[in-house]
Amino acid sequence: MQIKCQSDGLIFVSQEVYTNKILKKFNMAEVKGVSMPASCEESDNHKNVSGKVPYHEAVGSLMYLAAATRPDIAFAVNKAAQVMDRPAGMEWNKIKRIFCYLQSTSNYGLWHTCGSGELKVFSDVDFVGHKITRRFTLGILTIFADSAVSWTRRLQKRQPSRQLKPRSLQQVKG
């Protein structure tokens, strides 16, 4: 992890060395960069790639990077982590796209300032974002003193199926 302190009080935290290391490890150091870590395009490659590609290792490396200094890849990495049990070829292509994004943004990181000391919290919801389970994804970003200090993404927990029983209106006698 690289930490650079500026004379004006700004602090820049990045993991450029680690990013380049994992790009080389997964043979992605020479790929063409892309501008976004995820794509809306769907692939028809549903063939199981478990054991054929280092899927678990790649997701773990990306999760470490996302948790420390790269919240910009957190959503895409978490989506990839949801299929760890049986990754298909299309999921491996999504991992490779994240690596392509990292190739063009390896010098990105977080800026921390001596800001106002104001706490801000932002959230966003992807309503019914999962086509099969119909569950939503919630994202939360916490900013303190003009710097991101916490970010998270959560998938809606499964709700037990309940049948609603009609209730009759009863007159209350007093």
Stated as kind and residue range, the H or E segment containing 3 is strand 2-5
**Model pLDDT, residue 158:** 62
Mean local confidence (pLDDT), 98-106: 96
Name the DSSP class of 37: S
Closest to 28 (Cα-Cα) out of 97, 84, 122? 97
Which of the pair, 40 or 94, is modelled with greater confidence? 94
Please state whether the predicted TM-score (pTM) of the whole model is above 0.85. Answer: no
Alpha-carbon distance of 84 to 19, in angstroms, equals 22
Would you kindly state where each structural domain of the chain is located, as residue ranges? Answer: 2-112, 115-157
Calculate the alpha carbon distances from 82 to 1, 17, 128, 172 in Å.
Answer: 27, 27, 16, 51
Above 90 in pLDDT, residue 18?
yes
